[in-house]
Amino acid sequence: MTITAAADGSALGNPGPNGWAWYIDDDNWAAGGSPHGTNNQGELRAVLELLQATADSSESLLIMCDSKYVIDSITKWMPGWKRRGWRKADGAPVLNRDLMESLDEAMQGRDVKFAWVKGHAGHDLNEAADERANAAAKAYQAKQEPRRGPGFTLGSDASTGSASAQKSIPIPEPVGGPAQPLWAEASSLLDVFEVPEPVEGPAASAIDLHVTLTPDEHARLRDRAQAQGISLEQALRRLI
């Protein structure tokens, strides 16, 4: 079986608040974004998030994009960029290198094909991805938490209706007040973790803390770290 999905990005102002989304069906989609980015970054992130979400699937993947830049970057230009140390033919550094390197890694060993579709032309999957990416960008513009979707659930046990352990947990819609701003202090995520009691004495400087995050928790923490201009590791340290 081939999984067919659409991936799309959006940016308000370009650059500005941006969003990304991938969409398979109403039970399998995800969205996110950042307070500041470009449309191309949203497009690339959508494909990367889709590849990562389906990494444990053995099915082939068909990704439909309305961005020829994304398709050509992955299928045509990337081998040459890598040979030249992530530089273009004219010697200039490749734009969005961090995303390109992550995409290159995510593509390894995968059976993935790409197809270009015209944007805003009534293609059902593309329209669904575009709508969710744009909604995420608008959420960041309004300093609200975007709807992230259920994630990839095709590995669910259909006979019992229980999802696999890797399924993302959807964030409920805000009720009775404004959504929590993404750039709130990282300590607002403390309820996600079970943090051990403080250790006093010499041993306190040699504590190893191991935290397991669901894909949704990781996405939320990553977005908040980006919004505060810090690394994911720094965000985790702030929690401690």
157 is catalytic: no
Fill in the DSSP letter of residue 188: G
Strands (E), the chain: 2-11, 16-25, 28-37, 60-65, 112-116
9 is catalytic: yes
Identified catalytic residue from 8, 49, 145, 216: 8
Identified catalytic residue from 19, 43, 49, 151: 43
SS3 state of residue 8: strand
> To 10 degrees, what angle do helices 97-107 and 39-53 make?
20
176 is catalytic: no
Backbone dihedral angles phi then psi of residue 228, each to the nearest 5 degrees: -95, 0
Could you give the CA distance from residue 193 to residue 179 in angstroms, rounded to a whole number? 21
120 is catalytic: yes
Identify the bridge partners of residue 157 per DSSP, sorted by sequence position: 162
In this structure, the strands spanning 16-25 and 2-11 are antiparallel
Question: Residue 62 corresponds to which tokens in the numbers above?
Answer: 């068909």
Identified catalytic residue from 49, 130, 145, 216: 130
Identified catalytic residue from 9, 42, 149, 151: 9
Distances (CA, A) of 2 to 63, 129, 152, 154: 10, 18, 14, 12
Identified catalytic residue from 91, 120, 122, 191: 120
Identified catalytic residue from 19, 49, 66, 151: 66
Residues assigned a catalytic role: 8-9, 43, 66, 120, 130
